[in-house]
Structure 1
Amino acid sequence: MSPSHDAAGSPRPASVRDREAALEARLRALAADLDDGPAPGFRAATRARLVAMAAVRPPAPAPPRGLRARLRPGRGARRSRLTAAVAGAVLAVTATGALVALSTGAGPGDALYGLKRGTEQTQLALAGDERGPTLLQLATTRLQELDGLADGGAPAPLVRDTLATMDAQTTEGAALVSTEALGARDAAPLTALADWARQQRSGLADLRAALPGDTGGAATGSIDLVGRIGARAERLRTALSCAGGPATSGRDELGPVPAPCAAPGTPEPSAPGAPATVPADPAGETPPAAPTPDPVPAAPSSGGGSGGATGSAPAPGAPTPPVGTPAPTTPAPDGGPVPPLPVPGGSGTSPSPSSTPPPVLDTPLSTCLLPPLLC
């Protein structure tokens, strides 16, 4: 197709051809300018535009001042100290746990033995109601340590100290177990205590020959102590089975002391000062009280004197005249007898023993038997 014809092949007008030629020439001129860089004017305008946009950017925040400036770095410092403290605590707990694990196999005289005993004290403090069995378990640990001392030829003072510690733990543990068993009326702890004492005594007996010679007496005392604890546990089991409840008679270093069971029907002892109980008759009747003897009436007495006589009661300890005996008479100044005074309201005779004697009249007797004018 030629420039003078269109797409359909028809000839174009001259004016159209001129316009297309002018447009083509313009496009070629623009293409020559695009192959080079931007024009200097365009560069200057664009740079001025970017500088103006940067000038309107918001300013940066002002740095903190005063108290805020002081607190900001302190917060980070505290955080750092807290992190260091937590890390140190974790390391300390880990190291302590490793030392405790290593001290479980330490024996008397070792460097970690003090840490082991301290761990045992903490275990006792947290035992609560299980303090008694825990003490007996620690006494068994002391026996195992004695076995190690015998094999290693330890000095005698160290062996004696270990035996003393074992005896103290054994005594306290046995007393606690016995007391709790009687309080709960449960024979199972006493059975376990008797079995433990039997095993502990057997272990000590086997170990005594291997201990140093001058510690044999202390080892024998420990064996006797464990034997007494086993016997006490057996007796407490019997006392626990009494019909009237656990029969005990006080306490000692090993705990409650057992007592024989009371016989059926035996009355309990009354408190001091309480009235005695009279046993009932087999037939169901109460025996009569013993008869009380009747009081012996006091005989009237008379006395003489210049001013009169006054009756007085017999002195304490003086013999009492029998009933029916006439009262003695007091001689008058002229030698005549003075008759006894009659009893008012009576027949002049002594009252019968079964009746209450009347009161004795204390009447003064005159010593003048003549007329009043001569006296």
Structure 2
Amino acid sequence: MPDDIAALLILHAAGGAVAPRRALLQACGGPAAALAAGARAWRQHGLDAAQVQALRRPDAAQLGNSLAWLQAPGHQLLGWHDPDYPVLLRRIPSPPLALFVAGDPALLWHPAVAVVGSRGPTAGGRDNAGDFARALAASGLAVASGMAAGIDTAAHEGALAAGGLTLAVLGTGPDVPYPRANSGLHARIAGSGAVVSEHPPGTAAQRTHFPSRNRILAGLSLATVVVEAAQRSGALITARLAAEAGREVFAIPGSIHNPLARGCHRLIRDGAGLVESAQDVIAALGPLAAGLAEALRGRLAAPMFHDTPASSAPAEPRAVDPDYKCLWQALGHDPTGMDLLVSRTGLTAAKLSSMLLVMELEGRVVVEHGRYSRKR
């Protein structure tokens, strides 16, 4: 039987719908057991014929290439079954089965802000990205971006210049800088932060990979800041995905004569927060960052969060806190969306997101496809 790392690589390489493979992993308790369960169990969990065939006959060359990459220092693979899988990413509608990480995987738990925008920004937009990133990093937040040309590069450089943490989410393999001009930046981020991809080593740039990359970038971040963006851009996709995941979205306004300000103005009209300085972002994210810090403390103190016996009903959490009590009463046993929880409690989405994160890691709440319910 393959060990868990090899088995996870085989499951990951099977492609197709991710949800059935996540369900298989969860039911079997780990990758090796999932792979050993056999075709009947695979089909019972929803894997299609192509996936079953891929599990029966894995690509030996791809498997060997990924295993070789993982042998190098600082390279890791985090799977859905792993307790160190980033908690914020678990809560998005379509979390990846596994992540290839070059650098420090603990950074994926650190409170982060995504700074995104045009690949061909104005000089002012590039300066704004760098200034915001420096201030965010100096405040202790990590700066996440996609390592593309333009705003992404300026954001990473700004965070590094401040001596802060930065996280790059790639649409290529974790060993494939894109654009190639960012090879040096890729090495610096891997050395002091983290480079992350859901694609195996050696994967070249493909147009279809970048929109899906954006969901991971948004999912790892407490908030997304759009610096400059045209009406149709990848940055607006990231902002939309962030909002769908219940995260904060901010936009920097610009001149009405700048076509790269129109995407930001559209976001603001649609409800994004208008920000003029990084301090606006930092102040808004205080409660969320505190919630993630509390969750991380719980993770370090208690590696397993689901030790509550199935036969015992979870007690009402934090009963002395009226906000937690109100949220607990607003939650039902049927999945409930964030908008309805805001309506039932009168609390903001930011406050609820922080509280739900803590309750989820305490084993009181479960989240599926962005909807919350009491854990049965």
Tell me if TM exceeds 0.5.
no
Larger Rg: 1
Structure number with the higher strand fraction is: 2
Query: Could you state the TM-score of these two structures normalised by the residue count of structure 2?
Result: 0.21
Query: Could you state the TM-score of these two structures normalised by the residue count of structure 1?
Result: 0.22
RCO (CA 8 Å, sep 6+): is it higher in 1 or 2?
2
